[in-house]
Chains A and B, each alone.
Chain A
Amino acid sequence: SQTIHQWPATLVQPVGSPLSLECTVEGTSNPNLYWYRQAAGRGLQLLFYSVGIGQISSEVPQNLSASRPQDRQFILSSKKLLLSDSGFYLCAWSVEGGAETQYFGPGTRLLVL
């Protein structure tokens, strides 16, 4: 069966520090991968999606970047965090093609102080 992992679960970082959040998927090949951010009391905002290694599309301009160095690994990064980067970050995967179901990881709670 497929599983998706995210780490860390919780992170507290000072403003201006770098960020690296990791997401890995097991039990499937060539998944579509997604990064979402959920700010307090708000819905999900799609940040990045990837259809394959090295292929990243950004939905909104921001202080963050994403990379996919391996088929089942998706990394969310920042060189300098802002206060507004605080939120709950969710990684998701889906099979390629069609209006597919997305399966979510447990999320990372990021607090920037």
Chain B
Amino acid sequence: AQSVTQLDSHVSVSEGTPVLLRCNYSSSYSPSLFWYVQHPNKGLQLLLKYTSAATLVKGINGFEAEFKKSETSFHLTKPSAHMSDAAEYFCVVSGTGGFKTIFGAGTRLFVKA
């Protein structure tokens, strides 16, 4: 069975400081992992995707995530937060076929000026 846990429901950072959004997953086989971002009243946009290639994945808008099998983690990071990064972020695990796609509960990122 697959599951995904986003460890923080809310994260608040100051503009220009690093961002860390934590995600742990559980999967009985090698999963694909995704991070999506959702701005208010908008659809979800793909930030990055891991599919068993390089463990450090670079995405759009300066975000990156590292797949750590030993820790079953796929945390999302960004060196310097921007006001426009304020949004909700979803960690997603998927197996064979999108029908087994599971979304985390989401982490809302607040960025203070």
Where the two chains meet, the residues of A that have a C-beta atom closer than 8 Å to any C-beta of B are 6, 32, 34, 42-44, 46, 49, 57, 88, 90, 92, 94, 97-107, 109
Interface of A is mostly: strand
B101 touches A104 (CB 8 A): no
Number of interface residues of B (CB under 8 A): 24
Further 17 A-B residue pairs, CB within 8 A, beyond A44-B103, A99-B95, A109-B41: A32-B99, A43-B90, A43-B104, A44-B44, A46-B101, A90-B43, A98-B97, A99-B31, A99-B32, A99-B51, A99-B97, A100-B94, A101-B49, A102-B101, A103-B46, A105-B43, A107-B43
Where the two chains meet, the residues of B that have a C-beta atom closer than 8 Å to any C-beta of A are 31-32, 34, 36, 41-46, 49, 51, 90, 94-99, 101, 103-106
| Residues of chain A with a CB closer than 8 A to B94's CB | 99-100
